[in-house]
Structure 1
Amino acid sequence: MSHAAVLLKYQDMLRLSQSMLDSARHGDWEALITHQSARGAIEAALVAIDQLTWPPGVAEQKRTLIEQVLAADAETRERVQAWMSEIDGSRRSAQTEKKLQGAYLSGS
C-alpha cells in the first residue's frame, strides 16, 4: 500500500476521532460508540498495513495526524469520565433517596 493510501487511513481515523469528540460534546453517547467502532476497524487495519518506511516529510504528516487523534481522544476521555461521574452521582442519590423513603415508611 502506498504512503498516500495509508495517510488517507490516518485521516479517516482523525475524522472519526473528531466525530467521537463532537458526539461527546453533545452527549450523544450512542453516536460516540458507533464512531468508536468504525475507528477501531481502521486502527486494526493500520496495524496490519502500516509497515512502510516513511520519508521525513510524509512521516511528519503522519505524526501530525496521530497527535491530532490523541488530542481528540484526550478530550473525549475527559468528557466520558465526567458523564460517568455524573451517572454515578445520580445512582448514589437514588440509592440514598430509596433508603430514606424506606426509613421514613418503616418509622411511620
Structure 2
Amino acid sequence: MTAIARHPGDTLENVMDDKALLDYYEAIERASEQMLQAARDGDWDSVVRLEGACAVLISQLKHAASQRALRPEETRLKTRIMKRILENDAKIRNLAEPWLEDLDRLLAGSPRQLH
C-alpha cells in the first residue's frame, strides 16, 4: 500500500515519516498490552523483558521525533495511544503491588511465604 500526500506541500517522504512516528507509538502500545497480559499471568520475567523492549522503542522514538513533528491529526491519534499505554501501565502497577509487597517482606526478613 502506498501512502499519498494528504496536505498541500506534503511529499511522500513527509507522509512516511509521520507514519513511522506513529508506528513507534503503536509498537509501544502493543508491547504494553503484552506486558499487561504477562502481569496478569504472573510472568514477571516477561514483564521485565518487555519493559526493556519498550525502553529501546522509546529511545528510537525520541530520536525520530526530534527530526519531525506530527500534524494535529497524528497528534490526536498519538494522544489516544498514549492514554491506552498509561492505562495499561496503571493496571500493571496494580497487579505488581502484591508482588512488590511480598518482595519487600522477603528483603526485610519477614517470615511470610511468597505466592
Q: Tell which structure's C-alpha radius of gyration is larger.
A: 1
Query: Percent identity of the aligned residues?
Result: 24
How far the C-alpha of 1:89 sits from its partner, in A, is: 4.1
What amino acid is aligned across from residue 93 of structure 2 in structure 1? Answer: R
- 1:26 is aligned to 41
Distance 2:54 2:70 in 1: 23
- 1:49 is aligned to 64
Gaps of 5+ in 2: 1-15
In structure 1, which of residues 54, 60, 65 is the aligned counterpart of residue 81 of structure 2?
65
Matched, 1:92 2:110: yes
Matched, 1:9 2:24: yes
Q: TM-score, normalised by structure 2?
A: 0.74
What amino acid is aligned across from residue 21 of structure 2 in structure 1? Answer: V
Per residue, is there more helix in 1 or in 2?
A: 1
Distance 1:31 1:81 in 2: 17
Instruction: Show structure 1 runs of 4+ deviating over 6 A.
Output: none
Q: TM-score, normalised by structure 1?
A: 0.78
Distance 1:53 1:88 in 2: 43
User: What aligned pairs does 1:67-82 form with structure 2 within 5 A after superposition?
Assistant: 67-82=83-98
Which protein has greater RCO, CA pairs closer than 8 Å, 6+ apart?
1
Cα deviations across residues 23-61 of structure 1 (Å, max 9, x unaligned)?
A: 111100111111111111001111111132222111101
Gaps of 5+ in 1: 95-108
Secondary structure in 1 matching 2:45: helix
Distance 2:85 2:18 in 1: 18
For the aligned residues, what is the CA RMSD?
A: 1.9
